[in-house]
A and B are shown apart, each in its own frame.
Chain A
Amino acid sequence: MRELITMWRDTRMIMLVAVIAAIYAAVLIPFNALTIIPGITSIRPANVFPVIFGIMFGPAAAWGSAIGNLIGDVFSGQLGPGSVGGFVGNFFFGLVGYKLWGNLGPLSSGEEPRMDSARQVVEYLVIALTAAAACAAIIAWWLDVLELFPFSVLGTIITVNNFLAAAVLGPPLLYLVYPRVKEMGLLYPDVMREDDLPDVAPSRRQLAATGIVAVSIAWVAIGIAISVGVEGTQFLATTGETFGQGGSVTQQVLGAVGLLVLLGLTAISGDSLSEMVRR
């Protein structure tokens, strides 16, 4: 967790934050692969960036994605209270990559993310799903808290959109850019001073990473279940009566707990890429 603060001492990391934010925003707006609900939701190729940037640029990707989303809001005229959720959600969207790569126990390849084996692709897909879910849960929760949009609708849509873009584009992009970024000396373990990187024992790293996967996915799943009715069968007609404000309160409490647990797990988490790169 410390590295999220100490990275602000390094000029290159700060510059990476700015560049990541600018790329994310500049691609988010014009590139739109598939529109699902016009004006509301679409699959945006840019959503692959937080995940792969997270793996390569570490903490700079977390801050960069958060700021990039904010800038996207400023330039697309959608700045408002909802942007707070967008900021935090995208922060986690970018954070998950480096916290999870190499820390998923049997699911991890234990290699640098060159995407040259099926195992790495599987590891990547788990990370992409987790990142997509964490981001979606936070944003959907926040908009539910503000009573702008119900959790289930947004939680599902954002998870699916984020994941589709990240899953389809991530492996080919990493395959093409990871070696180049490494060659340029811009991987976060190469840019940051060794003292500023997290130094966490492998068992704790894995525990935290596994926790992040579980919490993110569970949060979206439970959240959706709550707002559509626990049994899932009473959708539409009676949800309102069954849950009403009560469902909303449960939703909001669940979200607060989910976010706190994610923060806690982040606090005890570490990274593996710095060891792989140094090896």
Chain B
Amino acid sequence: MSGGSSLYVNGDSILHRLAPRAKIALALGVFAVALAFDNPAWVVVPFAVSLVTLLALGGLKNLMRVWFVVVAIFVVGMVVWPAFVPAGGPVVLSTPLLDVTRDEVLLALGRSTRFASFIVTGLLFVTVTSNEEIVAGLRSLGVPFAFCFAVGTALRLFPTLLSATGTVRQAQEARGHDVAARSPIKRIRNYVPLLIPVFMTAIRNVQTQSMALEARGFDTRRERTFYGRRPLSGRDWLAILAGVALIVGAAVARYVFGLGVV
């Protein structure tokens, strides 16, 4: 349904009011912390900070949408990682097939937590950053206009096409089409009647859209102005500084002082 697809939660918090660039810097800072350390006791900090902030800013609904992914990544990471990281410390789990050591468990836990912090921090970012700000953020980082325009237009078209996808599904269902099938190949193939209408409806419009675009003066070879760019405020600078400090601090702590390792 229209508007229901965006994860942005309207609000007036300090985070909401930051310039897109400042939000990006902060997110990068948190990402850096989660990336630098292996020890779960350290990685859990950015995870917890993002999680609490997310919940405080009304992001529970968004979290509900991805919690399953977070849990799945955690579980699968815990199963898979021990096989790929160096062993060390006492054996904590012994099975006929293999022994799992303490270090393997800690590293697996650390990496799963890292993945989870990435997701929760990214979720926090899109919860406080509207689509428009994401595009403005790209633009302010010096990404060329044509590219930013394509991203913005794709973001604008996405909900429309998502609802078209739902309608196509219903229209074919009403004609007795059912994607369920026993054989996996047949099951994949059953998507043909669903994919083609979605694709053709969208692509049919490209000529009209391009025409409308040029009629609005769009021309990437020409000078244009940019409305709504705002200078960074003191608060934004503070946030950028904090982001940089997190990146540098995490790197120094990890690689100079050797902290947060297993």
Is there a direct interface between A and B, measured as CB atoms under 8 Å apart in the complex? yes
Known: A14-B149, A29-B162, A71-B154. A80 touches B31 (CB 8 A): yes
Contact status A33-B84, CB under 8 Å: no
CB–CB B122/A23 < 8 A: no
Compute how far the CA of A93 lies from the CA of B169 in the bound complex, rounded to whole angstroms: 26
Contact B209 A19 (CB under 8 A): yes
User: In angstroms, how far is the closest chain A Cβ from the Cβ of B135?
Assistant: 11
Give the CA-CA distance A141 to B160 in the complex, in Å: 34
**Is A165's CB within 8 Å of the partner chain B?**
yes
Checking A17, A74, A165, A240 against B150 with a beta-carbon cut-off of 8 angstroms, the contacting residue is A17
Q: How large is the interface on A (under 10, 10 to 19, 20 to 34, 35 or more residues)?
A: 35 or more
* Structural contact, A18 and B111, CB atoms closer than 8 A: no
What's the Cα separation between A82 and B31 when bound, in Å? 10
Interface string of B173-215 (1 = CB under 8 A from A): 0000001000011011101101110111011111101100110
**Chain B residues with Cβ under 8 A from A30's Cβ?**
162, 165-166, 169
Q: In the complex, are the beta carbons of B150 and A63 less than 8 A apart?
A: yes
State how many angstroms separate the Cβ of B227 from the closest Cβ of chain A.
20
Asked if B150 contacts A173 (CB within 8 A), the reply is no
Separation of A36 and B150 alpha carbons in the complex (Å): 33
Is the C-beta of B58 less than 8 angstroms from some C-beta in chain A? no
Does chain A have a CB within 8 A of B82? Answer: yes
Instruction: Say whether A77 contacts B66, CB under 8 Å.
Output: yes
* A14: contacting residue among B97, B146, B188, CB under 8 A: B146
The reply to whether B154 and A18 form a contact with Cβ atoms under 8 Å apart is yes
Neighbouring B residues of A9 by C-beta, 8 Å: 220-221
Q: Indicate if the CB atoms of A79 and B35 lie closer than 8 Å.
A: no
Interface digits, A238-276 against B, CB 8 Å rule (1 contact, 0 not)?
011101110110000000000000000000000000000
Chain A residues with Cβ below 8 Å from B76 are 37, 40
A233 within 8 A of B: no
Sample (20) of A-B pairs whose CB atoms are under 8 Å apart: A11-B218, A18-B154, A18-B157, A22-B157, A23-B199, A34-B184, A34-B188, A39-B73, A43-B184, A74-B131, A77-B66, A78-B119, A147-B114, A165-B188, A169-B188, A180-B200, A186-B207, A227-B84, A239-B84, A240-B87
